[in-house]
Every structure is written in C-alpha cells, then in structure tokens.
Amino acid sequence: DTAVSQTPKYLVTQMGNDKSIKCEQNLGHDTMYWYKQDSKKFLKIMFSYNNKELIINETVPNRFSPKSPDKAHLNLHINSLELGDSAVYFCASSQVPPRETQYFGPGTRLLVL
C-alpha cells in the first residue's frame, strides 16, 4: 500500500516535448506539493495545493502547470521541455501545516535530451 505514488518513475524525452507526471496519495491528506531536486541535489519546493487550491507557487517557469483534479491527486504538466528541466521531481503530501510532516513519493527522474 503505497502512501504517495508517482508515475512514471523514469521519463526520457526530447527537448520541446510536453509531458505530465502524476501523483496520488491515499493518506487522506489535504495538502500536496511538488519539489524539484536538481543536479546539485538541492530540493526546492515548486507548488503546493491545499484542498485543490494553489497556495504556493514559487518562481517556476510558466511552462510548469500543476493540476489538482481532487484532493488525492496533484499532477504536473510541463510544456516545451528544456535541457535544464532534467531533474528528479518529488511529490509530497501532508495534513494542514504547520504541525504535520510531509510524506514524499519515490520521485520521477526526468531526463531531457
């Protein structure tokens, strides 16, 4: 029973393509997040949704668009992929902050060629 799952686990694609990464959590949490871990291993928040509403939108190119169809899902769409988008993308979820810890998915390794 995976608490936070992401698909696909690996994604290799060409520059200029559009791709999506899906995230689902079965923990009943209200808040979901997307993080990016770049080649320097920094883990940075990109977006956060609480009850399907966007509450954090860090300085991320508008080629990245999160979509939350319901509380249990937060998908990440990336348009016109660039080489610099190559990274590991982690989805996470939590109950309403600030007390609750965040639970992470296994990550999606994106390689843009």
Partner 1 sequence: DQQVKQNSPSLSVQEGRISILNCDYTNSMFDYFLWYKKYPAEGPTFLISISSIKDKNEDGRFTVFLNKSAKHLSLHIVPSQPGDSAVYFCAARIGYALNFGKGTSLLVTP
- Beta 19-25 vs 31-37: how paired, if at all? unpaired
CB of 31 to partner 1, least distance (A): 7
CB of 15 to partner 1, least distance (A): 25
Question: Interface with partner 1 by CB under 8 A: which residues?
Answer: 4, 31, 33, 40-45, 48, 50, 55-56, 58, 90, 92, 97-99, 101-107
Q: Which is nearer to partner 1, 108 or 112 (CB)?
A: 108
Q: Which is nearer to partner 1, 19 or 103 (CB)?
A: 103
Q: Which is nearer to partner 1, 17 or 42 (CB)?
A: 42
DSSP 96: S
- Beta 31-37 vs 43-50: how paired, if at all? antiparallel
Where residue 30 falls (left for φ over 0; alpha for ψ -120 to 50; beta otherwise) is: alpha
* Tokens standing for residue 113: 């060629």
